[in-house]
Amino acid sequence: MAFLNPVVPYLLTGVYGCTAIVMGTISWHGLKDKDEHQRASANIGAHYQLLHSAAMVGLLGLMQSSSLSPCQLCLAEVSFSLLAAGTTLFCGTVYAKVFKGDAFPKRAGVLAPTGGFLLMGGWLLIAGIPFLRSSA
């Protein structure tokens, strides 16, 4: 792996998975003071976070494979980074909006779609991995 610190992707993935479970539990049991839409939003955020945590686990396994060319490895690493950043922006914005309610700054609402586009980009890069071959 070419990440500056190879521990960080594992740490990030584990924390994302764990906090997804926590947020799912909070969205189901702990948001009794929120309306149904807010609780559903938090639940969707937790589902997206857990799904992308699992995808990140898969990418970590793929990046350990000796069968990847350097170009494929690079694409997998960029995909991992996009999924990580997209999850933070999308889910973090959803959670912040649920917990802050009317105090949530309207301008910050653009972060969720930005995160969504990063997530889509990460998935599209995963789709491109098998089409890259080593230039050597």
The model's pTM? 0.90
Nearest to 16 by CA among 47, 62, 59, 61: 47
Mean pLDDT of 20-39: 88
CB-side exposure of 89: number of CA atoms within 13 Å? 19
Domain tally for the chain?
1
Is 1 a domain residue?
Answer: no
Centroid of chain to Cα 80: 9
Nearest to 59 by CA among 37, 41, 35, 78: 78
Is 119 a domain residue?
Answer: yes
Is 136 a domain residue?
Answer: no
Is 103 a domain residue?
Answer: yes
Distances (CA, A) of 42 to 48, 100, 124, 129: 10, 12, 26, 32
Say whether pLDDT at 136 is over 60.
no
Q: State how far the Cα of 97 lies from the Cα of 105, in Å rounded to an integer.
A: 8
Is 62 a domain residue?
Answer: yes
DSSP 68: S
Say whether pLDDT at 93 is over 90.
yes
Q: What domain range includes position 89?
A: 6-131
Mean pLDDT of 65-70: 88
* Amino acid 2: pLDDT: 60
